[in-house]
Structure 1
Amino acid sequence: MLTISGLSKSFHGRLVLDDVSLAVRQATITAIIGSSGGGKTTLLRCLNLLERPDSGTIAVDGAPIFADGAVCTDLPKLRRSVGMVFQRFNLFPHLTAIENVMLAPLDAGVPEQEALERAVTLLRRVRLAHRATAYPEQMSGGEQQRVAIARALALRPSVLLFDEPTSSLDPESTGEVLLVMRELAATGITMVLVTHELAFAREVADHVVFVDAGKITEEGAPAQVLTNPRSPRTREFLTHFTREGGS
């Protein structure tokens, strides 16, 4: 579903991604882990061209979207096929939950009644039908993030990207969001998530990728990477993470 080859990205002369290559199979969940500042979020943002790489290639479902400087000509279509759930929700504060979910389909030309029915279905899916008319400021962080997930699903993307979706939530809200993500995983949608929830990655991911200093230093099945890593740097990270009380 996603193929990345030789991807590099710099900010102000500092190399953030260094010759990264990765293949994400359809209907799988890939978890990207690693220390802060290692390049995880930049890699994720490059996958729907929120950040433009310096070099390399990216293809979605066989269609190239970036090839050594050349960017796909239809970014709105790309963003419909590769949805993203942000760390800070990014809901429109002046719109209700259902209006936030309806907005993108309406902008894409979906008839209003169909967009409404789609939004109602998705809010039920994330267990928030009862909050359809609530504004973001009236919702908890976990509720806002679940609305953001519904919004990302509203355009029926082929791939869904998550950028540390629980990092700003309390434990109860984290549990609510992870429950919804587990249910999404069961439907077979292709997901790529940057996460610090290693227990969740171990439980639901098909593939775990460890990114350090802009490079993928190890990848494989969760049981291998998280339990018996080959790379000394991965072992060091996991030991530190456990010592600091990470999940």
Structure 2
Amino acid sequence: MNVLLVVVIAMLAACGGTPPIPKRGVVEGDLGSWKFRRFQPVLDVEVWVEGNKAEAYTASYVTEAAEKRGRVEDHDIVNVFVTRYERPDGVLRETVKLARRLAAEQGYQVDETRLGGARTLSITGNGEAWIMWPAKGHVVKIGGRGRDSVPAAMVESYADRYPSQLPGGSLEGPLPPGPDSEPRPVDQPAHDPDNPRPDLDKYDPKAVKIPERAVAPPDAPAEPSKPTKRDRKPKP
């Protein structure tokens, strides 16, 4: 029985599979030639979703070549930010809204691109290069300062854990639905028994009969009025 279990596990490992989501958001280990160096929780959440509490984590990775030469420069470092939300509601919508705001600012170039097998948002300018995408209940952002590109292998490693939910044409099409896109309820005035208001939503014209006013036919001659006692002439 134990031998069979080992064989099944080995077969699953050989076939591959989706790696698990890290408990603290980021991968606290080496990713290929990128060496993990630092983990840190972040208080500032970049993609803010109203009514949806979030916490963020960051990890820094350094190239193996930089460690060997003993000198680390900006282009040798890649930073990863992962924001985790209580619920997936509104995450996609607010991520797209942030990307559109950055695209409207001077100095940033925002494009939709596929990298590492995932549909992502590319944000470059002001000496920075980032790749960002929304996942289910998460937002992932990879890049750093002093860079002009983001390594595809790093994006692929995180996209396997956080599959992108970014739709095509998100920068130009209608905004994805979210909590703030739903119509807000209209406040109804309090009931006043001295001045009741009709409930038009429950109005049924078949159940309500409006009294009609009796009107004489236009062609019918009016009946002469009978003389009163005062109008009658006395008999001779």
TM-score for both structures, normalised by structure 2: 0.22
Higher RCO by CA contacts (8 Å cutoff, separation 6 or greater): 1
More helix by proportion, 1 or 2?
Answer: 1
TM-score for both structures, normalised by structure 1: 0.21
